[in-house]
Amino acid sequence: MLSSSLTTYVQSYPLENVISIQYFDLYLSDGSRTQLTLNSDTIKYNYYKAAIGCLQYKDDSSCQMLGNMCALTLFNEVSSICQLFKASSATQSTLT
């Protein structure tokens, strides 16, 4: 059973908000710039496993997976996945 704090995280960072990755200021071969939004099947497949493993079970591999998913967003601090990773890091540091 999920703890109430984990339930709050999962509700605050639902899957549909984390699978879209936005890349800004991409340069095309003609020198112009553009934006691109992609849906990540990797994040879709691993998100809840990583979030629950990290937040509920304090599993280092799950926390690393969450951090790697944040890296896929190029560490975009406004992305939900990076906000969750940051929140999990704060929680982890208060436990040690």
pLDDT of 1 > 60? The answer is no
| AA identity, residue 6 | L
Mean pLDDT computed over every residue of the chain: 84
Name the burial class of residue 6, with classes exposed (0-12), middle (13-18) and buried (19+) by CB atoms within 10 angstroms of its CB. middle
DSSP state of 89: H
pLDDT of 84 > 80? The answer is yes
Which value, to the nearest 10 degrees, does the dihedral of the CA atoms of residues 24, 26, 32, 34 take? -40
C-alpha 65/C-alpha 71 separation (Å) is 10
Q: What is the pLDDT of residues 54-75, one digit of tens each?
A: 888 889 999 999 999 999 988 9
Among residues 31, 9, 13, 29, which one has the least CA distance to residue 73? 13
C-alpha 96/C-alpha 54 separation (Å) is 14
